[in-house]
Amino acid sequence: MSSWDPKYEPVIGLEVHAQLLTQSKAFCGCSTNFGAEPNSNVCPVCLGLPGVLPVLNLSLVDYVIRMGLATHCSIAPRSIFARKNYFYPDLPKGYQISQYEEPICSGGFVEIELEDGLRKRIGLTRIHMEEDAGKLIHDIDVDTLVDVNRCGIPLIEIVSEPEIRSPHEAYLYLAKIRQIVTYLGICDGNMEEGSLRCDANVSVRLSGESELGTKTEVKNMNSFRFVEKALEYEIGRQIGLIESGEKVVQETLLWDSGQGIAVPMRSKEEAHDYRYFPDPDLIPVIVTKEWIENMSTTLPEDPTARRDRFVAEFKIPKYDADLLTAEKPLADYFEGVITNLKTKNEENYKLASNWTMGDVLRVVNTEKILLVDFPVAPAHLAEMINMIVDGTISGKIAKDVFEEMLKTKEPPRAVVERKGLLQVSDTAALEGIVDQVLKQNAVQVAEFLGGKTQLFGFLVGESMKATKGKGNPKIVNELLRKKLEELKK
Ligand code: ADP
Ligand code: MG
Ligand code: ZN
């Protein structure tokens, strides 16, 4: 699978930044609202004007504690903020408030699942709090524009140990991080829009070697696939260097997705000296046991645990459970359907799974709507499944009912009544229709009686068509069989 010589082993560590969904910024009351007029969500604090003091937004601490707990970190009872100094137009203060020597979370892990079902833990060095910088917009006509709305938006940085061993593992790790932050509701997880960003550190060494090789850091990948591709590229490049007797130079590279290459950004010599020091304006963050306990009660069920529970409790295939728990809203939707099923058995759970994975997801994906806005409520879908199970409607008619519910948001019973879609189980009524069909298809009937038994399906199809799809297929089948049996005699 890998494109490099197995004599070499890649070593990867990821630094992931997640933009938090708090209402206001990290150290001031400004709104975090995305898409506001440029430079409108600002105040003297996030602009770094002299004489003002930052005040920590406690929601930021809530969020990072929840992330730390969800990834099995220890939460420091006391942590401090540091200033990371650098000069760049996107940072009016001249420093970023971050954490350096005493981060709030450390020593956790994230579990990924490899293809062979093996689970692997990737250690987390730390998770710390920091603030975002502004945005530079490179406009062709008017040079470079600065929008500082993003200054001070809260971030967490999740730093992994160098324990990832392939670009694909990096992909799985990122996907897991994304799943965890979205389950927690602390970040929207959108990599394309930059709410989740990843810097990839990578080195190679001879397999079996225990020392780490010289690493490079690749930035600027705005999708999971690009992270995988950029790492493939960089591993190949480093091995190429070593094979030709050259040395890997520690540097930062920028991924160019258009060309499929990573180009050097700056070399070690030019690297920033951030001159970190404790921020004198901010008091230490003291996290009490009660605070941690409080936060632990707000944690959602772990996505992997939920997946495993779906398999155990509802007896649905692992494939279904994986898909249904990929995103929390979908898992919630599915469980909402299950709760409202009249008869709770394996068969009906699978029906619920099929409708959710198939029809619901199809519409969500093609119409690009959020599940919370989905027009068919879980209770309505469940009621529709109940109606299929008790024979009120056929599975085929259910597809039409579903389409109608999408349009009108009505409960299924209302749709069925309004459109006259009740399944016809009245044997006398169906008998008349079947007789009619047999008469109209005398040629096929004769052939059937002559031994072409596969024509039975055709006659069922014609009969169902004659009932406009509303005939109870089971009764139609039985009637046909009986009638043809009689004709045989
Ligand atoms: P830096 O000081 O350059 O930021 P850190 O020690 O903070 O480096 O590590 C940053 C990230 O790089 C971490 O995710 C870590 O696991 C990873 N890392 C460190 N050394 C290596 C290496 N030799 N090869 C690959 N990844 C590494
Ligand atoms: Mg670093
Ligand atoms: Zn502000």
Concatenated DSSP letters of 93-109: TSEEEE--SS-SEES-E
pLDDT at 272: 67
Sign of torsion, CA 169 175 177 183? negative
Helix/strand/coil for 429: helix
Average pLDDT over residues 331-348: 97
pLDDT at 273 over 90: no
pLDDT at 2: 62
* Residue 448, token pair as written in the block: 């059937």
Query: For a pocket test of ligand 1, which of 161, 198, 210, 215 has the largest count of ligand atoms closer than 8 A to its C-beta?
Result: 215
Query: How remote is the CA of residue 29 from the centroid of ligand 3, in Å?
Result: 6
Average pLDDT over residues 130-138: 93
Query: How remote is the CA of residue 182 from the centroid of ligand 2, in Å?
Result: 24
Average pLDDT over residues 118-145: 92
d(CA 132, CA 465): 62
**Closest ligand 1 atom to the C-alpha of 202?**
25
- 159 in ligand 1 pocket by Cβ < 6 Å? yes
- Rg of the Cα atoms in the chain: 30
The DSSP code sequence of 139-191 is ETTTEEEEE-TTTT-EEEEEEE-S-B-SHHHHHHHHHHHHHHHHHHTS----T
- 13 in ligand 1 pocket by Cβ < 6 Å? yes
Query: How remote is the CA of residue 91 from the centroid of ligand 3, in Å?
Result: 13
- 103 in ligand 1 pocket by Cβ < 6 Å? no
- State the helix-helix crossing angle for 442-449 and 427-440, rounded to 10 degrees: 90
pLDDT at 39 over 90: yes
CA dihedral 159, 161, 162, 164 (to 10 degrees): -90
CA dihedral 95, 97, 99, 104 (to 10 degrees): 180
pLDDT at 121: 98
Query: Which tens digit of pLDDT belongs to each residue from 278-315?
Result: 999 999 999 999 999 999 999 999 999 999 999 999 99
Reported as half-sphere exposure (CB side, CA atoms, 13 A), residue 297 has a value of 5
Yes or no: say if 78 and 102 are a contact pair by the CB < 8 Å rule.
yes
**Closest ligand 1 atom to the C-alpha of 212?**
23
Stretch among 187-191, 272-276, 433-437 having the lowest mean pLDDT? 272-276
pLDDT at 349 over 90: yes
Ligand nearest to the CA of 268: 1
Which residue from 212, 213, 200 is spatially nearest to 166, judged by alpha carbons? 200
d(CA 360, CA 394): 19
pLDDT at 269: 46
Average pLDDT over residues 27-43: 94
Query: How remote is the CA of residue 17 from the centroid of ligand 1, in Å?
Result: 15
pLDDT at 334 over 90: yes
Going by alpha carbons, the residue nearest to atom 15 of ligand 1 is 13
Query: For a pocket test of ligand 1, which of 164, 201, 203 has the largest count of ligand atoms closer than 8 A to its C-beta?
Result: 201
- 202 in ligand 1 pocket by Cβ < 6 Å? yes
CA end-to-end span of the chain: 65
Helix and strand numbers, DSSP H then E, in the chain:
17, 17
pLDDT at 140: 73
d(CA 105, CA 111): 17
Yes or no: say if 108 and 71 are a contact pair by the CB < 8 Å rule.
yes
pLDDT at 470: 82
Which residue from 383, 391, 397, 389 is spatially nearest to 337, judged by alpha carbons? 383
Query: How remote is the CA of residue 96 from the centroid of ligand 1, in Å?
Result: 20
Q: What domains sit in the chain, N to C, each tagged with a CATH number?
A: 8-295 (no CATH), 303-419 (no CATH), 427-488 (1.10.10.410)
CA dihedral 320, 322, 327, 333 (to 10 degrees): 30
**Closest ligand 1 atom to the C-alpha of 250?**
3
Query: Which tens digit of pLDDT belongs to each residue from 438-467?
Result: 999 999 999 999 889 899 999 999 988 888
pLDDT at 372 over 90: no
Cα–Cα distances in angstroms (integers) from residue 76 to residues 105, 177, 252, 290, 296, in the given order = 6, 21, 31, 13, 15
Ligand nearest to the CA of 16: 1
pLDDT at 257: 92
Yes or no: say if 201 and 162 are a contact pair by the CB < 8 Å rule.
yes
- 403 in ligand 1 pocket by Cβ < 6 Å? no
- 216 in ligand 1 pocket by Cβ < 6 Å? no
pLDDT at 427: 84
* Residue 110, token pair as written in the block: 């994230």
Helix/strand/coil for 218: strand
Yes or no: say if 127 and 17 are a contact pair by the CB < 8 Å rule.
no
Which residue from 134, 95, 92, 127 is spatially nearest to 109, judged by alpha carbons? 127
Mean of all residue pLDDT scores within the chain: 93
pLDDT at 391: 85
Report the relative pairing of strands 95-98 and 82-85 from DSSP bridges. antiparallel
pLDDT at 265: 84
pLDDT at 101 over 60: yes
Query: Which tens digit of pLDDT belongs to each residue from 202-250?
Result: 999 999 999 999 999 999 999 999 999 999 999 999 999 999 999 999 9
Stretch among 56-60, 180-184, 365-369 having the lowest mean pLDDT? 365-369
- State the helix-helix crossing angle for 378-389 and 328-339, rounded to 10 degrees: 40
pLDDT tier at 103, thresholds 50, 70, 90: very high
pLDDT at 428 over 90: no
Query: How remote is the CA of residue 92 from the centroid of ligand 3, in Å?
Result: 12
pLDDT at 355: 98
Report the relative pairing of strands 216-219 and 251-256 from DSSP bridges. parallel
Ligand nearest to the CA of 200: 1
Query: How remote is the CA of residue 58 from the centroid of ligand 2, in Å?
Result: 25
Helix/strand/coil for 112: strand
- 215 in ligand 1 pocket by Cβ < 6 Å? yes
Tell me, what DSSP letter sits at residue 375? S
Higher pLDDT, 138 or 386: 386
Query: How remote is the CA of residue 154 from the centroid of ligand 1, in Å?
Result: 23
Helix/strand/coil for 422: coil
